[in-house]
């Protein structure tokens, strides 16, 4: 998109002209967004801002980012808050900014098999528009597999978003599908699975999941974990919630649809990314697998570990233990995803002179 940017709030001098060409959600800016800007006439100017210094060439009437205006730009970015419970401290020092060429769109036509070595049998779907700025990671339920979730990802058709449908690591007997961790369907199940075993296996899966995130960034170029969106159903929902609580970085968002076996998720230590990752938890009022009161109690148990954070949302819906099953539920899913997807105007971002304001190093 291309929106005229108000000049005075950003501290530019009268007569300067810039265009806002994108908003970039930054995990390292504590719940704020970075601004992607371009000169009004990009063909006539090239601007480079590095460590508080600006070099400008071209038309003298074009964009002029003066060092004196830098603090005002930083303040404006710090005041631009997303839907998190950790708004920037107004008294905090401005966040140092630098620039880099705007991202035109990541292309990942396929995933290196070595990257998926911990999750054999997984299915990757490249973005329909060819740009993989975001990655939707789907986690199936107990006794299922990734193929059905590939169909769901295609129907969701998120822009500039590829999908990765992971296959759980533990095969069930008699070809009954896959499991993320061993569990008991009922107290009288034999052989009985100790809770400690379930917790340890979930922890191992979490380690594999975080290793996958690092590999995706290193091998395929996703810049940080905030480009990854987890979508888990039933037992896969418990895996997604566990990852949200223990992630050292902010994730794009986490969707837990009718999560089950949540009692296995431990809350003794909440990681740095937990309080800034948006989470949607949906539950069915007619769910016989996870009764609604049990789901509400589990939600309270997990959110109490977050303290005063309000980034976790709970939606009770008139359904059973099912995947997304109504327009209302899908609307909640999309409303959770939309503010956190990294989307760029592909045409504008490829123009000469477009720069992205990001946090500087050092």
pLDDT digits (tens, 9 = 90+) for 110-145: 999 999 999 999 999 999 999 999 999 999 999 999
Domain range annotation of the chain: 3-104+344-359, 113-340
- Return the minimum-mean-pLDDT range out of 14-18, 48-52, 196-200: 48-52
Instruction: List pLDDT tens digits, range 332-359.
Output: 999 999 999 999 876 655 555 555 554 4
Question: How do 279-284 and 3-4 pair as beta strands?
Answer: unpaired
Per-residue model confidence (pLDDT) at position 90: 44
User: What CATH architecture does domain 113-340 belong to?
Assistant: 3-Layer(aba) Sandwich (3.40)
On whether the CB atoms of residues 235 and 260 are closer than 8 A, the answer is yes
Mean pLDDT of the chain: 76
**Nearest residue to 101 via CA among 143, 162, 50:** 50
User: Running DSSP on this structure, what letter comes out for residue 227?
Assistant: G
Whether the predicted pLDDT of 52 surpasses 70: no
Length of the chain (residues): 362
Please count the other Cβ atoms lying within 10 Å of the Cβ belonging to residue 300. 10
Tell me if the bond preceding 191 is cis, omega within 30° of 0: yes
- What number is the average pLDDT over the span 251-269? 94
- Name residue, tokens 């490249």: 126
Whether the predicted pLDDT of 79 surpasses 90: no
On whether the CB atoms of residues 99 and 50 are closer than 8 A, the answer is yes
**Nearest residue to 140 via CA among 236, 208, 64, 223:** 236
Q: pLDDT band for position 96 (50/70/90)?
A: very low
């Amino acid at each position: 998109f291309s929106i005229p940017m108000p000049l005075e709030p950003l501290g530019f001098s009268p007569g300067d002209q810039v265009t806002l060409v994108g908003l970039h959600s930054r995990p390292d800016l504590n719940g704020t967004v970075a601004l992607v800007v371009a000169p009004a006439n990009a063909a006539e100017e090239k601007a480079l801002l590095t460590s508080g210094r600006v070099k400008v060439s071209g038309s003298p009437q074009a964009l002029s980012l003066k060092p004196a205006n830098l603090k005002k730009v930083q303040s404006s970015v710090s005041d631009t808050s997303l839907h998190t419970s950790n708004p920037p401290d107004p008294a905090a020092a401005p966040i140092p900014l630098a620039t880099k060429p705007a991202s035109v769109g990541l292309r990942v036509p396929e995933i290196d098999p070595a990257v998926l070595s911990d999750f054999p049998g997984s299915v990757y779907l490249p973005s329909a528009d060819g740009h993989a700025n975001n990655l939707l990671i789907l986690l199936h339920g107990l006794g299922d597999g990734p193929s059905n979730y590939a169909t769901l990802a295609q129907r969701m058709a998120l822009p500039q978003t590829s999908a990765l449908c992971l296959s759980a690591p533990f095969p069930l007997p008699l070809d009954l599908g896959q499991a993320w961790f061993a569990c008991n369907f009922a107290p009288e199940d034999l052989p009985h699975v100790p809770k400690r075993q379930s917790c340890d296996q979930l922890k191992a899966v979490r380690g594999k999941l975080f290793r996958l995130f690092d590999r995706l960034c290193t091998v395929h170029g996703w810049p940080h974990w905030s480009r990854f969106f987890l979508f888990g159903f039933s037992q896969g929902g418990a895996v997604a919630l566990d990852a949200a609580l223990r992630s050292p970085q902010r994730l794009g968002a986490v969707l837990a649809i009718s999560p089950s076996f949540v009692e296995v998720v431990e809350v003794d230590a909440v990681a740095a990314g937990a309080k800034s990752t948006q989470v949607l938890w949906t539950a069915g009022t007619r769910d016989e697998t996870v009764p609604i009161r049990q789901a509400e109690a589990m939600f309270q148990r997990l959110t109490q570990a977050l303290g005063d954070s309000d980034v976790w949302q709970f939606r009770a819906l008139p359904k059973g233990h099912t995947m997304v099953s109504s327009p209302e539920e899908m609307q909640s899913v999309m409303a959770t995803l939309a503010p956190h997807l990294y989307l760029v105007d592909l045409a504008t971002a490829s123009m000469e002179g477009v720069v992205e304001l990001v946090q500087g190093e050092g």
